[in-house]
Structure 1
Amino acid sequence: MLLGGPWGRCSPGRCAFLLVLALLLDALGLVLLLLGIFALLDYWDFLVYSGSLIMAFSLLFWIIWYSLNIRLPLEKLDL
């Protein structure tokens, strides 16, 4: 029981919009990256670089989503 929650429960947390945005950016970046690698196109380098940048940009949304879902009891804040 990591972090005190039951193993069988899965929820997107308080910021579901950020989670969906991060997942969409990951999917779009992966599609562009793989298209640039495996398709025989003249502009393959644009697809590889833009896919990589989109996936790197999605990390920002993953970090924000994770940070906003951290729950800390008031007793541990030492106010």
Structure 2
Amino acid sequence: MLLGRPCAGCHPGRCVFFLIVALLSDTVGLVLLLVGIFATLNYWDFLVYTGALILALSLLFWIAWYTFNIQVPLEKLDL
């Protein structure tokens, strides 16, 4: 709900692919990071570093999703 309006009119934007990839990489990175921290495994460092790298990579997908959803009116484009 945004400013009292129902969220029925909300949409993910034009680049749904980047949104889905960003959400999946956030989920996978967070799961790997938390398993590496809290599980008693011999290869915990691999999981922690891999999870952190995937989370950092997900920031690129979020930036791409945001950038490709910017809409500029034609009047503002000096064509």
**Which residue identity lines up with residue 20 of structure 2 in the other structure?**
V
The RMSD of aligned alpha carbons is 1.4
- Give unmatched runs, 5+ long, in structure 1: 1-5
Cα deviation, residue 78, structure 1: 2.6
Cα deviation, residue 77, structure 1: 1.6
Q: Give the share of equivalent positions with the same residue, in percent.
A: 68
Give the equivalent residue in structure 1 for 2:33: 33
TM-score by length of 1: 0.87
TM-score by length of 2: 0.87
**Which residue identity lines up with residue 21 of structure 2 in the other structure?**
L
Deviation track 1:3-27 (CA, whole Å, cap 9, x = no partner) reads xxx7843211001011000000000
- How many pairs are equivalent? 74
- Give unmatched runs, 5+ long, in structure 2: none
**Which residue identity lines up with residue 19 of structure 1 in the other structure?**
L
Q: Which runs of 4+ in 1 moved over 6 A?
A: none
In 2, Cα distance between the equivalents of 1:57 and 1:13? 21
